């Protein structure tokens, strides 16, 4: 847990001692939780070191922001474990010119990480209060290339399709065909698949002219994909 205490303000940079503590914790997170566990993409590591995860969390959870685990953000949803965010981002192989669709905005943290790696992020969240909070936080923190909308992620964002990459941060029981259809040929999708409370697997999909290539990459546990009734 982060401990934020007193410090000589004359010797600290803008933001004060609290900012220094968060920055130090973020560097340790990247070194010990992410790079040490095999994520080697320099651009992804730099993005993880740059994005202030604590800014996307309720105040009561901020002291835990850089620990190695998911945390509740309200409405039955969580902010993903930092390692999983980094792993999924690296697996997606984001390019500077990419347009990326995110299903499950949640806190907005994953979108913020992607923001510095790609041209545009289109993010969908079905829980309206979370979507509105994430949208406000992303705007407040200057992530201007992220668009957030309230909606059913299984339906995608058809008017903005096709996408170079799609990242799904909630688990459907099977990959929605609608999302496959909104992926460009040559595009990539990273998605956890499986039943609620049961075994789930993270899959990396690549779309080829002749069909989809599917690779299981990691056992995981995500909150379920919620659909409009």
Catalytic annotation, pick one of 80, 107, 115, 123: 80
- The pair of three-digit structure tokens given for residue 156, joined into one six-digit string: 């995608």
Whether the bond into 71 is cis, omega within 30 of 0: no
Which of 157, 169, 171, 161 has the alpha carbon at shortest distance from 207? 161
Rounded Cα distance between 35 and 39, Å, is 5
Does the annotation count 80 as an active-site position? yes
Residue 184: φ, ψ to 5°: -65, 155
Which of 25, 48, 182, 200 has the alpha carbon at shortest distance from 110? 48
**28 contacts: CB under 8 Å, gap ≥ 6:** 66
Cβ count near 37 (within 10 Å): 11
Q: Is 129 exposed, middle or buried (0-12, 13-18, 19+ CB in 10 A)?
A: exposed
- The pair of three-digit structure tokens given for residue 87, joined into one six-digit string: 């792993």
Rounded Cα distance between 95 and 221, Å, is 27
Rounded Cα distance between 39 and 10, Å, is 37
Q: Which residues are designated catalytic? A: 80
């Amino acid at each position: 847990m982060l401990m934020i205490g007193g410090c000589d303000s004359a010797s600290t940079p803008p933001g004060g001692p609290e900012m220094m503590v968060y920055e130090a914790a973020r560097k340790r997170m990247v070194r010990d939780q992410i790079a040490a566990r095999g994520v080697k993409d320099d651009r992804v590591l730099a993005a993880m070191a740059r994005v202030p995860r604590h800014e996307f969390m309720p105040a009561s959870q901020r002291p835990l922001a850089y620990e190695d685990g998911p945390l509740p953000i309200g409405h039955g949803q969580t902010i993903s474990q930092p390692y999983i965010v980094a792993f999924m981002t690296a697996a997606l192989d984001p390019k500077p010119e990419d347009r990326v669709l995110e299903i499950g905005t949640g806190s907005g943290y994953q979108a913020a990480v992607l923001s510095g790696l790609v041209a545009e992020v289109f993010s969908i969240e079905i829980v309206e209060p979370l979507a509105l909070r994430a949208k406000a936080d992303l705007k407040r923190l200057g992530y201007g290339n992220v668009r957030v909308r309230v909606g059913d992620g299984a339906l995608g964002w058809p008017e903005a399709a096709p996408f170079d990459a799609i990242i799904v941060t909630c688990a459907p029981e099977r990959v929605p065909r609608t999302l496959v259809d909104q992926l460009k040929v040559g595009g990539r999708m990273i998605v956890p698949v499986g039943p609620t409370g049961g075994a789930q697997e993270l899959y990396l999909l690549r779309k080829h002219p002749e069909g989809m290539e599917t690779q299981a990459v990691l056992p995981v546990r995500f909150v379920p994909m919620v659909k409009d009734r």
